[in-house]
Amino acid sequence: MNAGEALGNAEAIVATVVPQARTAKWIGYAILGLIATAVAGFLIWWFFLHPRQLAQQAGQARVDAKLGTATGTIATEAIPQINAATRQKVDVDISVQKGQIDVRAAPDAGTSIRGVSDGVLRNLCVQPAYATDPACVAMHEDPAGVGAVGRDAPGAGQPH
C-alpha cells in the first residue's frame, strides 16, 4: 500500500468511527473557502480600490483648498464692482429725478392728454397695447388724422 491509499483508508476508518468527521471536514473546507474569499476581497480592495479612494480624497482636498482661497479672492474683487454698480445706479436715479423735475417744470407741463399732438398719438397707437383705446380706434379710422379739421388745429373740437 502506498501513502495515498493509507491516508484514504485512515479517513474511511475515522468516518466509520466518528460519523460527524465527514461533515466536519466539509465545514472545515467551507470555513477555509470563506477565509480565502475574505482575504482575496481584502487584497483586491487594498491594491485596486484603496489607491483610487486615496487619489480622490487628495484631489478633493486640492479642490477644497483652491475654492477656499478663490472665495476670498472673488469677494475682494466683487466688492469694488458692486460699489461701482451702486454708484452708477445712484447716478441714473439722479438723472431720472432731474429729468422728472425738468418735465414737471416745463411751461406746457399742465397740458392735458387731449392736447398731445397727433404725431405722439399716432406713435402710441402703433403699439398693440393701445389698439383698443378709443382715441387710437378713431386714429385708425382716419389714418391721416386730419378729418374735417386736424386735431392739432386751434379750436379743434369747438363748434364754429
Domain containing 140: what range?
111-147
Q: In whole angstroms, what is the distance from residue 118 CA to residue 146 CA?
A: 9
What confidence tens digit (pLDDT) does each residue in 72-91 have?
788 788 888 999 999 999 99
Is 36 within a domain?
yes
Q: In whole angstroms, what is the distance from residue 124 CA to residue 5 CA?
A: 114
Residue located via cell numbers 386735431: 151
Give the model's pLDDT for residue 148: 42
CA count, 13 A, side-chain hemisphere, 37: 6
Is 69 within a domain?
yes
Domains contained in the chain, number: 2
What confidence tens digit (pLDDT) does each residue in 143-156 have?
555 544 444 444 44
Instruction: Say what the pTM is.
Output: 0.31
The mean of the pLDDT values for the chain is 76
* Residue 121: Cβ-neighbour burial (10 angstroms; 0-12, 13-18, 19+): buried
Is 33 within a domain?
yes
Give the model's pLDDT for residue 150: 46
**Nearby residues of 121 by Cβ (< 8 Å), 6 or more positions away:** 135, 136, 139, 145, 151
Are both 15 and 77 inside the same structural domain? yes
Are both 116 and 77 inside the same structural domain? no
Are both 69 and 15 inside the same structural domain? yes
What confidence tens digit (pLDDT) does each residue in 86-126 have?
999 999 999 888 888 877 777 766 665 555 566 676 777 77
Q: What angle do CA 63, 65, 69 make, to 5 degrees?
A: 115
Cβ atoms within 10 Å, residue 125: 19
